[in-house]
Amino acid sequence: MSEDILNLSALQLDALREIGNVGAGNSATALSQIIDRKIDMAVPRVSIMPLGDVPDVVGGPDVMVVGVFLRVYGLAPGSILFLLPRKSAFYLADMLMGRKHGFTESLSSMDESALMEIGNILAGAYLNALSHFTKLTLLPSIPALAMDMAGAILSVVLIQLGQMGDHALVIETEFTTDADGVKGHFFLIPDPGSLNTILTAIGVKE
């Protein structure tokens, strides 16, 4: 399975990037409406990387982050991970709960629920776009939230993917608000077996 990932063509990667672009655009719009603030979105990066390298994208395995994790069910299962640096998570919690910026120093259960709901909305918006492209039904699981080092949170994904190979296709998008605001990384990691399904559905299976 892992070899299928390593042999993707430039055309296939471009097609996946375009799906990422539309999915991330939907997610950014949804987030922007919730927090009533403009969201800037980087062009999604599509890369094939060893699973152990994914934490480097957010600054290294020892960086403290808040992660919202969901499994994707349906004909193309996978994982979604929304990672926020701890400071961004506190900032976002203050915005969502209508508090003054800088108030939050640890997450209450209500803050965690609000952040999980954000993860849920982002994932739903992303999967709606992916479903539109592929005509596949894709459903997110109930989100789980953890605050830990990026490497520890990623180990959750490693456990999910561990049976399927040591590389992952990662569609990664960065969201930012103002200079002092929220910065987050959104990862879509299809299970290796899902790649053929997605590529066939969008007509770029070679």
In the chain, the domains with their CATH numbers are: 2-201 (3.40.1550.10)
Q: How many CB atoms lie within 10 A of CB 105?
A: 6
What pLDDT, on the 0 to 100 scale, is given for residue 88? 86
The 3-state DSSP class for residue 160 equals: helix
DSSP letter string over 112-145? HHHHHHHHHHHHHHHHHHHHHHH---EEE---EE
Q: Are 204 and 16 in contact (CB under 8 A)?
A: no
Q: How far is CA 94 from CA 87, 90, 103, 108, 114, in A?
A: 11, 6, 7, 11, 10
Residue in the structure block whose two tokens are 């919730």: 34
**What pLDDT band is residue 166 in, cutting at 50, 70 and 90?**
low
For 47-98, what is each residue's pLDDT tens digit?
777 777 877 877 888 999 999 999 999 999 988 888 888 988 998 888 888 8
Q: Are 110 and 95 in contact (CB under 8 A)?
A: no
Averaged pLDDT, 27-35 = 83
Q: Rounded mean pLDDT of the chain?
A: 82
Averaged pLDDT, 28-52 = 79
For 108-143, what is each residue's pLDDT tens digit?
999 999 999 888 888 888 888 889 888 999 999 999
Sign of the dihedral defined by the CA atoms of residues 138, 141, 142, 144, in that order: negative
**What pLDDT band is residue 1 in, cutting at 50, 70 and 90?**
very low
DSSP letter string over 61-92? TTSEEEEEEEEEEESS-EEEEEEEEHHHHHHH
Sign of the dihedral defined by the CA atoms of residues 52, 53, 55, 60, in that order: positive
